[in-house]
Amino acid sequence: MVGRYRLEAVHRSYPSELVRLASGHTVLLRDVSFRVIEGRIAVEGKSLHPNHALIYQTALALRPASIYECGVGGCDHLVNLHTLLPEAEIAGADRSLEQLAFARSRHDLRWARIEVRDLTLLHPERDVVDLVFTQAVLMHIHGGDRHRTFLRNMWQLSRRYVLLMENWLRHDFVDDLRALFPGQKLYLLRDRSAKGLLLDKQNALDYPTVTSDRELRSPRG
């Protein structure tokens, strides 16, 4: 229950967090002039948050035909991915109707499939989309095995890629992923101050890998 209350508190504070984010960074690409230069997004004016830029640039490199965000928040990431990859099928979930209502108050989402789903509970759905990702969601989920169940659901939903952009101090992500998916390579994404973890079910990417949480957390990692 503690984890549930904590996540609900995060949802309540989310609108004010977006205001703070927008004071220092570009939030929506459609509102600014930008270019993609050799896979990197160059924005006129305030830059993207490094974590967000890394998500979008990874999606541009992987070119998934379909994308699913676990924990959509205000749906800004899905809107930006739709701007960058208009041909991709876009979908996502959050755990409450109130959160989805907030997202729809920010955006016209008729081009996306957005649903209520609690991913801390087991779901049988498999091989649904090419790329499944989170941005600062699992870091707020604590108590029991809930965050590991969330990871299992992400893996099952994905046909190919799982991308995590989290606070790496909140869980032992590398240990958890290695225990859940033995033999799976964990690819380390890094750009400026941002770090991400990428899983490819085919283990076929030519990216650096990471083998321990200590390595992931290291400033040199």
Rounded Cα distance between 119 and 113, Å, is: 16
Per the structure block, which two tokens stand in for 213?
Answer: 């949480």
- So what's the pLDDT on residue 10? 52
DSSP type of residue 107:
-
- So what's the pLDDT on residue 37? 96
Rounded Cα distance between 120 and 206, Å, is: 31
C-beta atoms surrounding 202 within 10 Å:
8
pTM of the model: 0.92
Q: For each of the chain's 221 residues, which pLDDT tens digit applies? A: 444 545 555 556 778 888 898 899 999 999 999 999 999 999 999 999 999 999 999 999 999 999 999 999 999 999 999 999 999 999 999 999 999 999 999 999 999 999 999 999 999 899 999 999 999 999 999 999 999 999 999 999 999 999 999 999 999 999 999 999 999 999 999 998 999 999 999 999 999 999 999 999 998 76
Contact 74, 14 (CB under 8 A): yes
Contact 61, 128 (CB under 8 A): no
How would you classify residue 49: left for phi > 0, otherwise alpha for psi between -120 and 50, otherwise beta? beta
- So what's the pLDDT on residue 5? 43
What element of type H or E holds 115?
strand 112-116
- In order of their start, the domains of the chain are 2-217 (3.40.50.150)
Rounded Cα distance between 16 and 186, Å, is: 34
